[in-house]
């Protein structure tokens, strides 16, 4: 009997929209839901509407003055110079009408997923509208206004008194969530991302291990540019297993930004659909091994909304619901429907062709570098485990 699962969704989530040319485009949610519907993988009974987050919940993490600023900005009442102090009105995070309401719904969606799982109503919950991991206490950053994962983790702690393992596989460092819990030993953050030497936000180095009581509960695996599937998966599989064994969480929250793919124009990694099949598979396994199955998954980055995100995110739901119907050809009618609107040729298969990109000359060097990075990142817990086993 498959695990009970909740899919948090409503078209109102598409209101989180900066402008017509901004790379962050929640139309990808609609494309993903339509793909799942075309293969009958989404039972209407599994769909749960997101609720609005309350101000009290937002201020579990965000400064009340920041929330006030976002509100004013959405009403066109925030002066330009003040907006910049809050990271609003920038090229990355432009102001749009009703941005407070749209962002509160996005956070509410993740809180809805939390309540579905933590009350035991379902074992797994997916909110693809969430995953905005760059949001800071008092500042917007990197397309992220309110940080739904940080708010959700604080909410889990306060309402359910649980220890949370946060795993972020977005190509960008999960900085906002890391800093929110940098001194908290009851939250363990693991981020695997493209090295900050080449990519925003520039943080996420191995030595960001936490502070005070939280020292040793923050893990970062900055992989090299042009990293391919095998090297990426080696890092992911070793890191998530060792960190989960070390921390033994009560619940796992995974952020699934789909921007590590070779097609993604905002990043420099060379992954394919292969990693997006494996990521949820291992998260699922870890959730059952340590958390009685308690697994909350959110979206994140992903800027090729036609060729990458719908397939990558569909894999999460297919894994959650243990639905094997995602091999071979994509549904013809989905391609027909969306090829008309897509600026690029849509893929015809769930998986990418072997020759999706030309061989990368520095492959061996990159693989070696990532191995060393992984060793260094996990050294404290591997050393700890060794001394324990002696």
Q: Where on the chain is the footprint of Zn ion (CB under 5 A)?
A: 170-172, 257, 259, 301
Q: Looking at beta carbons only, is 35 or 132 nearer to Zn ion?
A: 132
3-state secondary structure of 71: helix
251, β-bridge pairs:
164
SS3 at position 136: strand
Q: Closest separation between CB of residue 175 and Zn ion, Å?
A: 11
For residue 350, say if its preceding peptide bond is cis, omega within 30 degrees of 0: no
Closer CB to Zn ion, 32 or 321, in the complex: 32
Judged by beta carbon, residue 168 or residue 250, the one nearer Zn ion is 168
Write down the H helix ranges in the chain. 27-38, 55-58, 64-74, 80-85, 99-118, 148-160, 175-180, 229-247, 273-290, 309-320, 332-339, 363-389
Sheet holding 47-48, edge to edge: 47-48, 5-8, 124-127, 295-298, 251-255, 164-168, 187-194, 218-223
Interatomic CA distance for residues 297 and 277, integer angstroms = 14
- Name the closest residue to Zn ion (Cβ): 301
Report, in Å, the least distance between residue 257 CB and Zn ion. 4
Helix (H) or strand (E) holding 255: strand 251-255
Q: Which is nearer to Zn ion, 72 or 133 (CB)?
A: 133
With beta carbons less than 8 A apart as the criterion, state whether 110 and 130 touch.
yes
**Shortest distance (Å) from residue 258 CB to Zn ion:** 9
**Token pair of 232, please?**
């990426």
Instruction: Name the residue nearer to Zn ion (CB basis): 125 or 171.
Output: 171
As a whole number of angstroms, the distance between CA 339 and CA 94 comes to 29
> In angstroms, what is the minimal distance from the CB of 131 to Zn ion?
9
At closest approach, how far in Å is the CB of 34 from Zn ion? 23
* Shortest Å, Cβ 32 to Zn ion: 17
Choice between 115 and 259, CB closer to Zn ion: 259
Q: How many residues does the chain have?
A: 390
Task: Tell the smallest beta-carbon distance from residue 171 to Zn ion (Å).
Answer: 5
Q: Which residues contact 41 (CB under 8 A, 6 or more apart)?
A: 314, 317, 318, 321, 323, 325, 326
Q: CB of 42: closest distance to Zn ion in angstroms?
A: 25
Q: Which residues contact 145 (CB under 8 A, 6 or more apart)?
A: 70, 88, 93, 99, 103, 132, 135
CB closer to Zn ion out of 46 and 150: 150
Tell me how far apart the alpha carbons of residues 18 and 30 are, in angstroms, rounded to a whole number.
17
**Shortest distance (Å) from residue 255 CB to Zn ion:** 9
- Please identify, using beta-carbon distances, which residue of 181 and 303 lies nearer to Zn ion: 303
Reference 46, options 125, 131, 152; nearest CA is: 125
Would you say 92 or 183 has its CB closer to Zn ion? 92
User: Could you tell me the smallest distance in angstroms from the CB atom of residue 259 to Zn ion?
Assistant: 4
Q: How far is it, in rounded angstroms, from Cα 262 to Cα 312?
A: 13
Q: Identify the bridge partners of residue 220 per DSSP, sorted by sequence position.
A: 191
Q: Which is nearer to Zn ion, 123 or 283 (CB)?
A: 283
């Amino acid at each position: 009997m498959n695990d009970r699962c909740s899919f948090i969704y409503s078209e109102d989530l598409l209101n989180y929209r900066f402008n017509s040319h901004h790379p962050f485009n929640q139309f990808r949610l609609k494309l993903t839901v339509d793909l799942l519907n075309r293969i009958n993988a989404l039972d209407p009974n599994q769909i749960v509407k997101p609720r609005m987050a309350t101000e009290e919940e937002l201020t579990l993490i965000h400064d009340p003055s920041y929330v006030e600023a976002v509100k004013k900005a959405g009403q066109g009442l925030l002066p330009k110079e003040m907006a910049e102090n809050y990271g609003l009105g920038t090229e990355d995070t432009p102001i749009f009408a009703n941005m407070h309401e749209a962002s509160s719904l996005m956070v509410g969606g993740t809180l809805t997923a939390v309540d579905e799982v933590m009350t035991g109503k379902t074992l797994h919950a997916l909110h693809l509208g969430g995953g905005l991991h760059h949001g800071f206490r008092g500042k917007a950053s990197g397309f992220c206004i309110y940080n739904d994962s940080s708010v959700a983790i604080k909410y889990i702690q306060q309402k359910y008194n649980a220890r949370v393992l946060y795993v972020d596989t977005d190509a960008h460092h999960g900085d906002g969530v890391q800093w929110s819990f940098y001194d908290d030993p009851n939250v363990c953050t693991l981020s695997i991302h493209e090295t900050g030497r080449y990519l925003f936000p520039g943080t996420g180095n191995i030595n960001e291990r936490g502070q005070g009581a939280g020292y040793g509960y923050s893990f970062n695996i900055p992989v090299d540019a042009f990293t391919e599937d095998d090297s990426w998966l080696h890092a992911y599989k070793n890191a998530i297993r060792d960190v989960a064994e070390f921390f033994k969480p009560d619940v796992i929250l995974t952020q699934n930004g789909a921007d590590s793919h070779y097609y993604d124009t905002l990043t420099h990694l060379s992954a394919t659909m292969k990693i997006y099949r494996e990521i949820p598979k291992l998260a699922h396994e870890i959730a059952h091994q340590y958390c009685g199955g308690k697994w909350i998954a959110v979206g994140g980055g992903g800027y090729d909304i036609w060729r990458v995100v719908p397939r990558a995110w569909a894999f999460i739901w297919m894994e959650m619901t243990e639905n094997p119907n995602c091999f071979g050809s994509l549904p013809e009618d989905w391609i027909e429907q969306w090829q008309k609107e897509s600026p690029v040729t849509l893929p015809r298969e769930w998986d990418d062709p072997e020759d999706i990109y030309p061989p990368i000359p520095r492959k061996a060097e990159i693989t070696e570098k990532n191995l060393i990075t992984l060793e260094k990142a996990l050294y404290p817990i591997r050393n700890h485990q060794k001394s324990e086993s002696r």
